[in-house]
Amino acid sequence: MRSLELAKRNFREVWRDPLSLGITIGLPVLLLLVLQLFGGVDPFFTPTVLAPGIVLFGFVMLMFSSAMILSRDRESALFSRLLTAPVRARDFVAAYSLPYLPVAIIQGILLFAIGLFLGLEVSGSVVLVVLVLLVTAVFYIGLGMVLGSLLPLAPLSGAYAVVLLLTIFGGAWMDLEAIGGVFQSVGNALPFAHALDATRDVMVEGAGFGAIATDFFWVLGYTLVAVALALVFFRRKMTD
């Protein structure tokens, strides 16, 4: 219950900052609208291929926003006050993560709705797509909590750029088999390509859970590690 009280405050913080919220939700949508214009030139830019990658890009924005609010709070006197309340580290992490789930859901719905309007084809289970994307969203929010717990506000942009590049070159927007070598090995070890493969396999090929289980659990593993690390780092920050 106490984490819900704080989540409510964080939710208000997010929704009362229309500029940040607009960028977080709007930029991926804009990217989809612009890039799909090249669909006639290269099949990579058709909504069906493009949309899942852009959803991941949106989640990177989400990670940045969640990291920013936590990091900004940590530098404020309000945070010291919050830490003197009888609230556990896990409640804090939940309270800073929860407000971003509705943002992720709105972002996903908006992107897929626009994608469908532009010709996106979904052959598989929508529920399975939602499940994969939800776990992926939690992974990125968890990563945001790790970064927000560790870094002050200034270096966050650098961390954002690194995660964005890892997402792009880790297989979300690049074909790892075409890259090959060390990049392919590293990309396969990271969760991004697995999240994208699972989403595309369900959407385009109508794959069931069994077919995407390896990819799904790969992403889930990373999600659990990210959340656990967020808890560890946040707990450390509670008492210097």
Partner 1 sequence: MSRAAEGSYSAIRTTSISRTFGELTAVDGIDLSVEQGELFSLLGPNGAGKTTTIKMLCCLLKPTGGTATIMGHDIQKNPLSVKQVIDVSPQETAIAERLNAWENLTLMAGLHGVEKRAARKRSGELLEMMALDGRAKEKVKNYSGGMKRRLSIAMALVSDPRVLFLDEPTLGLDPQSRRAIWEHVERLKGDKTVVLTTHYLEEADALADRVAIIDEGKIVALGTPKELKESISGDQVLVVEAANLADDALDALRQLYPVVRRTENGVEIDGEAANIYDIQDVLRPRGIIIDSTYKKQTSLDDVFLRLTGKQLRQ
CB of 80 to partner 1, least distance (A): 5
CB of 85 to partner 1, least distance (A): 4
Which positions lie near partner 1, rule CB under 8 A?
A: 1-2, 4-6, 8-9, 12-13, 16-17, 76-78, 80-88, 239-240
CB of 75 to partner 1, least distance (A): 11
Task: Identify which of residues 6 and 120 has a Cβ nearer to partner 1 in the complex.
Answer: 6
CB of 236 to partner 1, least distance (A): 11
Q: How far, in Å, CA of 60 to CA of 137, rounded?
A: 9
Task: Identify which of residues 140 and 234 has a Cβ nearer to partner 1 in the complex.
Answer: 234
Task: Identify which of residues 14 and 67 has a Cβ nearer to partner 1 in the complex.
Answer: 14
Task: Identify which of residues 86 and 181 has a Cβ nearer to partner 1 in the complex.
Answer: 86
